[in-house]
Amino acid sequence: MSQNTRGHYEFADLPINPVRPGTSLLVAGPALGGTRELALRMLAAGETRNEGALFIAADESGEELLADYTAQGGTFDRGRMAAIECGGPQIESDDQNIRSVRSPSDLTGIGIEYSSLYEGLHGEGIERVRTGVFTVSTLLMYADEIQPVYRFLHTLTGRVRSADGFGVCVVDPTTQDDRTLSSISQTFDGRVDLRTSGDGDAELRVQGVRDQPDGWQRL
């Protein structure tokens, strides 16, 4: 592990070593296997006062996702959190940090709202933003082809990289063919796989990112 990790994103209570600012990770595992909870724990770990969080909620409401983030250890006040929800009734909310688009297929709309909310958080003095996408599987399900999703994720992770942020995106590999999963993975700096061992224990493995433990680690 590198000796100088100042400013890195850390993961208390998880078998993942600190990662450099600007890193985006794809978290892969079965939808009901705890992958979502792991991703939220990764995003919540090591929060600092100059940071905020921005989520794309393709599977649920923005309000529910922000509540789930808090339940997994997130301590940001609501002024430092924002979410984009996809589909469902377009309900006006008093919370200016929750925006809606018509469908998970509206990647252009999601991108516009993401940029607007990102700039809004920075305008409040937040220096670094943690980004979570829940889930890439849903974006792929609503897309006619992979290329728009690939371009969207490439742009998203590029924004995270250029602003020294941290990104975590969730995918269920059992719903995608190997070619699609391989293409999507290329937009990320590394991948975290989650599985259940033969003994029934949850295990994770980090690949593609330097200075990480080798092989599967007990969670």
Q: Please report the DSSP string for 81-115 in residue order.
A: EEEEEESS-----S-TTEEEES-TT-HHHHHHHHH
CA distance to 41, 110, 123, 135, per residue, from 57 (Å): 16, 10, 23, 7
The total number of residues written for the chain in this structure: 219
**CB environment 93-127: b (16+ within 10 A), e (fewer):** eeeebbbbbeebbebebbbebbeebbeebeeeebe
Q: 161 is written with which tokens?
A: 């990289």
pLDDT at 191 over 50: yes
pLDDT at 1: 39
pLDDT at 134: 97
Among candidates 95, 80, 171, which has minimal Cα distance to 130? Answer: 80
Q: In angstroms, how far is CA 58 from the centroid of its own chain?
A: 12
pLDDT band at 3 (very low <50, low <70, confident <90, very high): very low
Q: Which residues, in sequence order, are bridge partners of residue 26?
A: 169, 191
Alpha-carbon gap, residue 9 to 12, rounded angstroms: 10
Alpha-carbon gap, residue 36 to 211, rounded angstroms: 24
Largest Cα span, the chain = 50
pLDDT at 183 over 60: yes
Among candidates 74, 82, 32, 78, which has minimal Cα distance to 56? Answer: 82
Using only C-alpha atoms, the chain has a radius of gyration, in whole angstroms, of 16
Q: What is the pLDDT of residues 122-164, one digit of tens each?
A: 999 999 999 999 999 999 999 989 999 999 999 999 999 999 9
Alpha-carbon gap, residue 113 to 119, rounded angstroms: 10
pLDDT at 2: 40
Considering the entire predicted model, what is its pTM? 0.93
Among candidates 17, 74, 9, 15, which has minimal Cα distance to 202? Answer: 15
What the chain holds in terms of domains, given with CATH numbers, is 23-214 (3.40.50.300)
Q: What is the pLDDT of residues 12-68, one digit of tens each?
A: 899 999 999 999 999 999 988 899 999 999 999 989 889 999 999 999 999 999 999
Q: What is the pLDDT of residues 64-105, one digit of tens each?
A: 999 999 999 999 999 999 999 998 555 545 568 999 999 999
CA distance to 84, 142, 144, 182, per residue, from 53 (Å): 12, 25, 29, 27
Q: What is the pLDDT of residues 4-18, one digit of tens each?
A: 566 999 998 999 999
